[in-house]
């Protein structure tokens, strides 16, 4: 039987609904779902099919990873499960952001080969000095805007938590595989994780985002290059929802490692 996170218990000490004031409310998720149902049919047959599935999501959940209401429930389980696990041994966790150089034109996000990206990551981890680490996270999406007059492009990237290993070992595992380029100034960023319970819930939930953004280049107060972000326009949210639906919840996760105390590592 397929794992059913809708029925999985949630530890209230790590529940994002209780702990994170910024966690999306049920009303916000329902509103977003209504907006998607209105925008998806513009995107052809795949959009029409997903719109009707989302429209049917009620007490009996549609289980689409493109559905904001179901995504909220998944994030609640995922965030609380990981935060509770990290809290058992809160030191020595690192957040890792990896930005591959591949970008996709608007209307062509379906070309993103996430299985290949995940397979490569799995191989990179297996061949590195952090091959035994527990790794938990997911794939995130931005729409990248440019300083010049190029059209914006989708940028899928990875964000995950690594238990153990140390900053240098983690950087060594990935730096050689993800080169810098003009549009990718910081392809691999490793940061020590802060360890109080609220930080754990925040970071664990952040590994599987529900709000997707435009990233625009700007200058900070000192005139240095920086980025600012705002929420995706509805047609872009709809294009992304079709991809998220195909990917499924577990397809979007990054999970590596072996620990019987955490069944979420091997859940199918």
Site string for Zn ion, 100-139 (x = CB under 5 A): ----------------------------------------
- In angstroms, give the least distance from the CB of 53 to Zn ion: 8
Non-local (6+) Cβ contacts of 71 within 8 A are 29, 65, 210, 244, 249
Q: Does residue 201 touch Zn ion according to CB under 5 A?
A: no
- In angstroms, give the least distance from the CB of 81 to Zn ion: 20
- In angstroms, give the least distance from the CB of 129 to Zn ion: 41
What is the CB-side half-sphere exposure of residue 107 using CA atoms within 13 A? 3
CB 106 within 8 A of CB 154: yes
Closest to Zn ion by CB, 67 vs 117, is 67
Cα four-point dihedral sign 51, 55, 56, 59: positive
Measured CA to CA in angstroms, residue 122 lies from 130, 190, 218 at distances of: 11, 18, 35
Window 41-100: residues binding Zn ion (CB under 5 A): 57, 61-62, 67, 69-70
Non-local (6+) Cβ contacts of 52 within 8 A are none
Closest to Zn ion by CB, 64 vs 193, is 64
Closest to Zn ion by CB, 98 vs 241, is 241
The number of residues that bind Zn ion (CB under 5 A) is 6
What is the CB-side half-sphere exposure of residue 42 using CA atoms within 13 A? 13
Closest to Zn ion by CB, 57 vs 109, is 57
Query: What does residue 145 show for φ and ψ, rounded to 5 degrees?
Result: -105, 155
- In angstroms, give the least distance from the CB of 160 to Zn ion: 25
Closest to Zn ion by CB, 74 vs 174, is 74
- In angstroms, give the least distance from the CB of 245 to Zn ion: 10
Closest to Zn ion by CB, 62 vs 134, is 62
- In angstroms, give the least distance from the CB of 72 to Zn ion: 9
Closest to Zn ion by CB, 33 vs 157, is 33
- In angstroms, give the least distance from the CB of 6 to Zn ion: 10
Q: What is the secondary structure of 168-186 as a DSSP string? A: HHHHHHHGGGS--BTTBS-
Residues binding Zn ion (CB under 5 A): 57, 61-62, 67, 69-70
């Amino acid at each position: 039987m397929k794992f059913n996170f809708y029925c999985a218990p949630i530890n209230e000490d790590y529940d994002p609904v209780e702990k994170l004031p910024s966690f999306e409310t049920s009303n916000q998720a329902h509103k977003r779902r209504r907006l998607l149902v209105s925008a998806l049919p513009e995107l052809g047959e795949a959009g029409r099919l997903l719109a009707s599935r989302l429209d049917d999501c009620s007490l009996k959940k549609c289980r689409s990873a493109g559905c904001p209401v179901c995504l909220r429930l998944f994030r609640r389980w995922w965030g609380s499960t990981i935060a509770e696990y990290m809290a058992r041994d809160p030191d020595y966790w690192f957040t890792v952001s990896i930005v591959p150089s591949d970008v996709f034109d608007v209307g062509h996000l379906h070309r993103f080969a996430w299985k290949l990206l995940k397979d490569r990551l799995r191989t990179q981890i297996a061949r590195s000095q952090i091959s035994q680490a527990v790794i938990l996270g997911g794939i995130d999406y931005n729409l990248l805007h440019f300083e010049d007059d190029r059209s914006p492009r989708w940028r899928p990237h990875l964000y995950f938590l690594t238990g153990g290993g140390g900053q240098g070992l983690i950087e060594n595992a990935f730096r050689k595989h993800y080169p810098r380029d003009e549009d990718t100034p910081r392809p691999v960023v490793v940061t020590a994780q802060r360890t109080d319970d609220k930080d754990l819930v925040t970071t664990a939930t952040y590994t599987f985002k529900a709000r997707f953004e435009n990233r625009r280049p700007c200058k900070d107060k000192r005139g240095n290059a920086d980025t600012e972000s705002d929420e995706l326009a509805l047609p872009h949210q709809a294009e992304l929802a079709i991809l998220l639906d195909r990917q499924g919840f577990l397809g979007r996760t990054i999970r590596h490692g072996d620990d019987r105390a955490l069944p979420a590592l091997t859940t199918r």
